[in-house]
């Protein structure tokens, strides 16, 4: 298949591009580079030996997107990573988040209808579950309840848009992948997570502390009902996540489906820091801070539907994820742009 990756220069997009190319598919990438780097695409080309058509543009620009797709037709599918993704920023700038995330999705669906592209795989998020009522979270768990930030709300709204679009068009194949916590990097150390500014997520923050770019890790709360009092999350290696996209693409069928992508095994904050210390061979300074508003004690998934229907399972451990993240960060201490 020839697959358009919207937002394909980002962290998950670049790793998925490698997985698709290694599986024998062709890829083309559109990305506005607002929180990513064209260098990531160049490094994917180096890793795979493939030439990747690349358009630096906002995916809401339907005219530019249409011209790009027609130049490289036929395109068989879209994997939709494009969008803004910082939870705190979404609270401060809700209108921008609704505009970009929902607008991008509408533009992509319009493009697909006009150009006869039958398949879309959407980058959704476990944030759609809100505060878990029971664990582990399955695809049947309640969503849209107590969603505290516009980022999570946009993901939930886009899921509903895809569901409605598939109901209206019997030929449409639409899949939403609810990610848990992506971590790690390509084992080559050539591509990895490179967030702009101070990282919002734990693993890249720990990596920046390990490399000396930040002073210490803030651990928000040590009095939760968990094995060591710190929050538990379901951390999935980005290579396993990328493989999940390939499986979803290859198994997509008419209609709308949702899959959790996670390991089903929760890891605490202190367990992750300890694993990173093993990988880096050094102590990671940390500071216990008060709980953050909105944080939950634990969140992890039941991934059995993806195992059953897609033949996919996460196989990599948190130690492997930390090893690969450290390899990336230590070889690229300043990320792509200043490497």
Burial class (CB in 10 A: 0-12, 13-18, 19+), 148: middle
Which residues 6+ apart lie within 8 Å of 241 measured at CB?
12, 15, 16, 179, 182, 261
Instruction: Give the containing element (helix H, strand E) for 321.
Output: helix 318-331
Catalytic residue flag (residue 151): yes
Give the ranges where 82-169 is alpha helix by DSSP (H).
Answer: 87-92, 94-97, 103-115, 150-168
Which residues 6+ apart lie within 8 Å of 274 measured at CB?
none
Which is it for strands 267-268 and 232-233: parallel, antiparallel or unpaired? Answer: antiparallel
The Cα-based distances of 30 to 17, 239, 256, 272 in angstroms read: 12, 21, 24, 33
d(CA 117, CA 42): 26
DSSP string, 194-257: --SSS-SSHHHHHHHHHTTSSS-EEEE-S-SSSTTSS-EE-EEEHHHHHHHHHHHHHH--SEEE
What is the Cα 295 distance to its own chain's centre? 19
What is the Cα 185 distance to its own chain's centre? 12
The Cα-based distances of 213 to 116, 131, 284 in angstroms read: 47, 32, 12
Q: Which segments of 247-338 are extended strands (E)?
A: 255-261, 267-268, 286-289, 298-299
Burial class (CB in 10 A: 0-12, 13-18, 19+), 334: exposed
Selecting among 11, 97, 129, 151, the annotated active-site residue is: 151
Residues annotated as catalytic are 151
């Amino acid at each position: 298949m020839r697959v358009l990756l919207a937002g394909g220069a980002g962290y998950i997009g670049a790793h998925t591009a490698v997985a698709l190319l290694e599986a024998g598919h062709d890829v083309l990438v559109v990305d506005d580079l607002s929180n990513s780097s064209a260098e990531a695409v160049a490094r994917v080309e180096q890793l795979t030996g493939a030439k990747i058509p690349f358009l630096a543009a906002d995916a809401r620009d339907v005219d530019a997107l249409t011209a790009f797709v027609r130049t490289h037709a036929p395109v068989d599918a879209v994997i939709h990573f494009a969008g803004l993704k910082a939870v705190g920023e979404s609270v401060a700038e809700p209108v921008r988040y609704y505009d970009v995330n929902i607008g991008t999705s509408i533009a992509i669906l319009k493009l697909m209808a006009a150009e006869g592209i039958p398949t879309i795989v959407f980058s959704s998020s476990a944030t759609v579950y809100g505060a878990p009522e029971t664990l582990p979270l399955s695809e049947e768990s309640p969503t849209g309840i107590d969603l505290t930030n516009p980022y999570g709300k946009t993901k939930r709204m886009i899921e509903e848009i895809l569901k409605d679009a598939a109901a209206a068009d019997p030929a449409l194949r639409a899949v939403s992948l609810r990610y848990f916590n992506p971590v790690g990097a390509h084992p080559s150390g050539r591509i990895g997570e490179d967030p702009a500014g101070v990282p919002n997520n734990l693993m890249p923050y720990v990596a920046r502390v390990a490399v000396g770019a930040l002073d210490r890790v803030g651990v928000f709360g040590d009095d939760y009902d968990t094995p060591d009092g710190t929050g538990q999350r379901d951390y999935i290696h980005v290579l396993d996540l990328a493989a999940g996209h390939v499986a979803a693409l290859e198994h997509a069928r008419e209609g709308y489906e949702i899959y959790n992508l996670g390991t089903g095994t929760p890891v605490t904050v202190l367990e992750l820091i300890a694993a990173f210390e093993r990988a880096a061979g050094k102590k990671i300074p940390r500071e216990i801070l008060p709980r953050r508003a909105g944080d939950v004690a634990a969140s992890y998934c039941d991934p059995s539907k993806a195992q059953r229907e897609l033949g996919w399972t996460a196989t990599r451990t948190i130690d492997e994820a930390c090893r690969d993240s450290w390899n990336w960060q230590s070889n690229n201490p300043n990320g792509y742009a200043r490497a």
